[in-house]
Amino acid sequence: MTRLLVSVRDVDEARVVLRAGVHLIDVKEPMRGSLGRADRAVVEEVVALVGKAAPVSMALGELVVDGRLTAGAAPAGVSYVKLGLASAADQPDWPERWRRAVEPAGGVGVVAVIYADWRTARAPRPDRLLEEASRLGCRVVLIDTFEKSAGNLLAHWPMDELSAFVAGIRRRAMLVVLAGSLDEEAIDRVLGLAPDYIAVRGAVCRGGREGPVEFRRVCKLLRQVSCNG
């Protein structure tokens, strides 16, 4: 069954999505980029609110820009962390730097982030990154977009290419999360790939991804995912 992940920026938005019944709550600050890291106090507030009602994940930013942070920096109660690799293709030692960043995760699940617009992000090639993620024991792969103003996931990866890549993730027994400015039409299409999660923010916000999360929009997407997933 495909489930719905919604990214929130504060405890008030977390309260909205929790009431709607989303399956996983992600914490990020959208004004800081695709994987913008929220302040630690914000993450702790969300974890305290959610309790055991749903898993909580958090964005740590980008390895090259925010490299001092590691997976071990996640507050207690966070189930998953994600650290992007934008600009990492310019660093020959990125696999080793990524390994050092994710090793302290302990029992927290590490999400490997693959940007569909990897050339724009100057991230490692998706196939190379997936290979390294498998070697590091990452539990989850998130396919996302780096540049949010340049089209959604399917503008960068046609369905046949995306389907083949998702199959490669499954062969490695990793969970699949699809994101990248997905709207209702795009969600309908990618649901056919049976991802473990559909991840959204802008689709449930008023006025785009930097606007507030709206309860009715979350409920509508939950129905869409439940009916077609």
Q: Are 35 and 84 in contact (CB under 8 A)?
A: yes
State the number of CA atoms in the 13 A half-sphere of 32 facing the CB: 16
pLDDT score for 71:
76
pLDDT score for 116:
96
Compute CA 64 distance to the chain's CA centroid, rounded to the nearest angstrom.
Answer: 18
Strands 140-144 and 80-84 turn out to be unpaired
Task: Assess whether pLDDT exceeds 60 at residue 219.
Answer: yes
pLDDT in tens, 176-197: 999 999 999 999 999 999 999 9
Distance CA 13, CA 24 (A): 13
Query: Which range marks the domain in which residue 72 is found?
Result: 3-228
pLDDT in tens, 80-133: 999 999 999 989 999 999 998 888 777 899 999 999 999 999 999 999 999 999
Element (H, E) at 52: none
Element (H, E) at 48: helix 40-50
Supply 145's token pair.
């977009």
Question: What's the total number of domains in the chain?
Answer: 1
Three-state SS at 154: helix
**Residue 107 is part of a domain; what is its CATH number?**
3.20.20.380
Residue 44's pLDDT band (cuts 50, 70, 90): very high
Residue 208's pLDDT band (cuts 50, 70, 90): confident
